[in-house]
Amino acid sequence: MTAIDYTPHGVCSRNIHVELEEDGSTIKNVAFTGGCNGNLKAVSKLVAGKPVAEITAILDGNTCGNRPTSCADQLCHALRAAQAQAAAGA
C-alpha cells in the first residue's frame, strides 16, 4: 500500500490523505481535513475502490465557485502524487 498526505492549494481543505492499493492504480482510502465536511466525506466514500484513472478522468479540472480549482480537482493532484510515489517505490 502507498499512503501520502498531500497539501492542497487554493481550496478550503488543508490536507488530503490518500491510500492506494498495492498495484498503485486503485484507491483504497481518501480522507480530507478541512473543507466542506459532508461533501468531502461523500467524495471519499464514492472514490474508494475505484481506479485512479477513472476518478481523475471525472474530477480533473472541476472548479469551486470562482476558484480555478476545487477539492475534487486537488484530489486528482494528490492521486497522481501517490501514484508517482508508488512507481518510485516499485
Local confidence band at 89 (pLDDT 50, 70, 90 cut-offs): confident
**For position 55, what pLDDT does the model report?**
98
Q: Residue 4 and residue 83: Cα distance in Å, rounded?
A: 10
Q: Are 32 and 15 in contact (CB under 8 A)?
A: yes
Domain ranges, residue 12: 2-89
Give every CB contact of residue 74 below 8 A, 6+ residues apart in sequence.
Answer: 6, 8, 9, 10, 11, 13, 16
* Residues 9, 2: Cα–Cα separation, whole Å: 22
**pTM of this structure:** 0.95
Query: What is the CATH classification number for the domain harbouring 80?
Result: 3.30.390
Rounded to whole angstroms, how far apart are CA atoms 63 and 13? 14
The pLDDT assigned to 60 comes to 98
- Domain count across the chain: 1
Average pLDDT, the chain: 96
